[in-house]
Amino acid sequence: MKKIVFSLLMMAIVMVGYSQDIRGPISNPAPGVLDGVYVKEHIPTKKVVPYEFVREADVAWSKRVWRAIDMREKFNHPLYYPLDDIREGEGNDEWIWKKNTTRWSLWTVIRYHIISGDLTLYSPFDPDWNAWKDGDLFKYPYTPDKYGSSASGNFITDSLFRVAVKGMEYLGYEEFNASPEAVESIEYPGEDSIDADGNTIYYPNEFVWYTGEDIVQYRIKEDWFFDNERSVLDVRIIGICPVVYAKDQAGNITGLKELFWLYFPECRYVFQNFFVQSRHNDSQRMSFDDLFWKRMFQSYITKESNLYDRELQNYRAGVDALLESEKIKEKIFTFEHDLWSF
């Protein structure tokens, strides 16, 4: 009986190993080897816990809030680590990606599933009018059916869509080259290649991928609401957006840049199957979906829904902005407290 059970466990390991790109990174040792004392099957096979259904008539109060999760804060490091490295390979359409074999950072998960076509990327601005930035409304999905050659393609299979995504710098940027190298002519060795219009042909600039180390913060948009049916104050994350430093051609930091927005209810189906490292107990690992569900991250409010549609930085700065953020948090929790009397 023990031999049968062990054989079934080995089969489970192999089957999970074949589907690791779908269900998350799992160490896949040689056949007959169990890397540990038990099969870690909960996170790789768990299903999304659905939200409670909420009727509009049952929502007595709601408030929309935008937050920033700073990756430099130690409490948020489970989202930030482990770091990965990705760079262009020998071919134009190839790249070398070095990542952890058992767990990924949140950015590695997001990038992999955007490339695979499992997550829909929403532009932070109108792609046809860059000055209009309202991407957190999910109005501009950047999909292969609109910017590629077919609706069934993705970043890997559709070269037209791949070029479009790289051109918009959602996943990386072209390295600025002040002195580009000309392509040598095959017909006339030692001379530069010339196109049909008589212009010199240069090698394309190297595409630099954003890695987990480049992610400065994640911005989330969420709704707080009081549900009369359940008599609870609840919260739902609507969207999440990775943010990097904006730099000029000299490499100087000029501010922060939103890469794109993701619809969080769609992300949950991906986040549920990826491990988050526990600081103290390896057997109590949770998924990224669990982490957001349990609010196990440190953040500060950057905006709340208001009459003037302004962010905190428009009327507060520095420490005053952080104090205003705490004041908004206190206002939300005080509202719930004041609903009850004893």
* Residue 130: count of CB within 10 angstroms of its CB: 11
DSSP-derived 3-state class of residue 110: helix
**Helix (H), strand (E) at residue 216:** strand 215-227
Q: What type of residue sits at position 188? A: Y
149: Cβ–Cβ under 8 A, 6 or more apart, which residues?
158, 159, 160, 161
At 315 the three-state DSSP class reads: coil
> SS3 for 333?
helix
What would the pLDDT profile of 306-331 be if each residue is shown by its tens digit? 999 899 988 998 899 999 999 999 99
Place of tokens 């804060």: 73
189 or 303, higher pLDDT: 303
- The count of other CB atoms within 10 Å of the CB of residue 43 is 21
In the prediction, which pLDDT does 281 show? 87
pLDDT at position 74 is: 95
Lowest-pLDDT range, 15-19, 75-79, 179-183, 234-238? 15-19
Token look-up 């104090």 returns 323
Q: Using only C-alpha atoms, what is the Rg of the chain?
A: 24
Is it the case that residue 1 has pLDDT exceeding 50?
no
Helix (H) or strand (E) holding 271: helix 264-271
What's the CA gap between 109 and 24, in Å, rounded? Answer: 8
CB 110 within 8 A of CB 80: no
Number of neighbouring beta carbons within 10 Å of residue 293: 17
Which pLDDT score, from 0 to 100, does residue 204 have? 64
pLDDT digits (tens, 9 = 90+) for 156-214: 899 899 989 988 999 998 876 656 666 666 666 766 666 666 666 666 677 889 999 99
Q: What is the pLDDT of residue 150?
A: 85
Q: Which of 71-75, 100-104, 187-191 has the lowest mean pLDDT?
A: 187-191
Q: Specify the pLDDT at position 7.
A: 40
One-letter amino acid identity for 27?
Answer: S
pLDDT of residue 73: 96
Q: How far apart are CA 306 and CA 13, in angstroms?
A: 52
